[in-house]
Amino acid sequence: MTTLSIFDAHNPKAAPTVTHDSGEIGELLNSKGVRFERWPTQNLPADAAPEQILEAYRSEIAKLKSESGFQTADVVSLNPDNPQKEAFRNKFLDEHIHSEDEVRFFVRGLGIFYLHLGDQVFAVQCQENDLISVPQGTRHWFDMGPEPEFTCIRLFTNPEGWVADFTGEDISSRLPRFEELEGVTA
């Protein structure tokens, strides 16, 4: 279930405000400039090829490209049996920013985007059907968990794909990780 946990950035050990209501999550995120939507599920096999996934969501992708000037779309997928899963997880765990919006649509599985917005950190556990667009320049990080299992469509304006500028801040190490927040979502 999609879950939003809002932490005090200055006191990350304090209990967060939590909601599971996707309408409320959308309103809260949209009020901060973060696009959040729920798209209808397409009937795809669990082992669908990236081309099949992109074709199934062709109209939604075309709409986003038209609205926001995205040039490319691809599919990223990670499973617990990937021998490099720890390295992939660690790559995204430190706070960073991008010079373009970071857009992800979850076709399957889940992951948590942490958005450092002023004095708060919004931890958004995204799951199948969730679209999130983190605006350029927004401090954030992503946790796929120790046993990642997800497939996402990614959109980019930069043909080079994912390029991050790390902030050097340690806030991501002070907030609960994926495995700790799983209990919040139950």
For 45, how many CA atoms within 13 A lie in the half-sphere containing its CB? Answer: 6
7 touches 14 (CB < 8 A): yes
Note the helical H segments in 57-174. Answer: 58-68, 85-92, 171-174
Q: What angle do CA 44, 50, 56 make, to 5 degrees?
A: 45
What does residue 98 show for φ and ψ, rounded to 5 degrees?
A: -130, 160
Q: CA 19 to CA 23: how far, in whole Å?
A: 10
Is 10 one of the annotated binding-site residues?
Answer: no
Is 20 one of the annotated binding-site residues?
Answer: no
Residues 6+ apart with CB under 8 A from 109: 127, 128, 148, 149, 150, 151
75 touches 107 (CB < 8 A): yes
Binding residues for Fe(2+) are: 96, 98, 102, 140
Binding residues for Ni(2+) are: 96, 98, 102, 140
Binding residues are: 96, 98, 102, 140
